[in-house]
Structure 1
Amino acid sequence: MANDNFVQIIGNVTRDPELRFTTGGTAVCSFGVAWTPRRRNPQTGEWEDGDTSFFNCSAWRDLGENIAATISKGTRVVVTGSVRARDWEDRDGNKRTSIEIDVDDCAPSLRWAQAQIERTSRQSGGQGGGGDFSGGGGGGQRQPDPVYGDEEPF
């Protein structure tokens, strides 16, 4: 992931994640996240909502599968990744732009929720969302668990 377009957002999932697989067997999960800024009005002392921003998110491989199994519509999440704008035309021929995030990591926000963590075994090589992956799981061999020495892995 390039450091020049890194983004982190905290928002609510707008639709249940959709898990699909490429023809090569690679998992990709698509979901939406909305974020509405809030600020306190200095004259009234009241909180006011700003304009809501909507982001289309894509997560690949194990991360995508874990998101699809864990996150649902309405969940408040913390998403990190790289951002890009995609131009397209709607059915009426109008030019549109959508902001998309290639997800590097995603987690439920624990400010207003609790989560139970269940570790999964890694089935593909690489580290994180941007590693070098060899495709969807062949061979049936499980990768060894990482060695952390004397430290706990968290």
Structure 2
Amino acid sequence: MSGETMLTVRGRLTADPELRFTPSGAGVTNFTVAVTAQKFDKNTSEWKDQPTKYWRCAAWNQGKLTRAENIANLLKKGDNVIVYGELTTREYEKDGEKRTAEEIRVETIGKDLTFHGQAYAAGSSEQPPAAEDPWATPPASTGGWPEQSSPPF
């Protein structure tokens, strides 16, 4: 593990992840994460967007670990994500010209819930209507154990 450059990026998926399989059957999902950093401008007292950086990512299945398939099935364009993985450089040839590309080999990924809304704010007196809250009323009796008796195990 020494010598690897590990990277964490937080951004949005630019398109739906693409799942493919190699001839040997290994699954790989490719996707791109757009990251727009912000800097505070002291002169105007405002936050200013910096140029957007696009990070190409690849996630592989490993044995019984179906990371690539999970990403393809659960994430979609526009999702806020946090990606952690190894920064790799791969070389390829296009039109007879050698090129290089940086890519994140994904070790772990998750949805970033920082900017997702809530039904209501914690500690707020404003609650969702009871009809929309399935936990507001106890469920009807289902013929379970009587309250005074102990469970049968």
Under a length normalisation based on structure 1, what TM-score does the superposition of the two structures give?
Answer: 0.65
Q: Unaligned regions of 5+ residues in structure 2, if any?
A: 118-153
C-alpha separation between the residues in 2 aligned to 1:94 and 1:22? Answer: 25
Offset at residue 84 of structure 1 (A): 1.7
> Considering only aligned residues, what root-mean-square deviation do their CA atoms show, in Å?
2.0
Given that 2:29 and 2:59 are in contact with CA atoms closer than 8 Å, whether structure 1 keeps it comes out as: yes
- Which residue does 1:81 correspond to in 2? 85
- Which residue does 2:124 correspond to in 1? none
C-alpha separation between the residues in 2 aligned to 1:104 and 1:30? Answer: 13
C-alpha separation between the residues in 2 aligned to 1:41 and 1:20? Answer: 44
The AA in structure 1 aligned to 2:110 is: A
- Which residue does 1:99 correspond to in 2? 102
The superposition leaves residues 44-75 of structure 1 with CA deviations (integer Å, 9 ceiling, x where unpaired) of 01111112111111111111111001111111
**SS of equivalent to 2:8:** strand
C-alpha separation between the residues in 1 aligned to 2:20 and 2:2? Answer: 25
- Which residue does 1:42 correspond to in 2? 42
The AA in structure 2 aligned to 1:71 is: L
- Which residue does 2:111 correspond to in 1? 108
C-alpha separation between the residues in 1 aligned to 2:78 and 2:89? Answer: 24
C-alpha separation between the residues in 1 aligned to 2:105 and 2:112? Answer: 19
Q: Unaligned regions of 5+ residues in structure 1, if any?
A: 115-154
C-alpha separation between the residues in 1 aligned to 2:91 and 2:23? Answer: 25
Offset at residue 88 of structure 1 (A): 4.4
- Which residue does 2:30 correspond to in 1? 30
- Which residue does 1:143 correspond to in 2? none
C-alpha separation between the residues in 2 aligned to 1:85 and 1:44? Answer: 39
C-alpha separation between the residues in 2 aligned to 1:74 and 1:36? Answer: 13
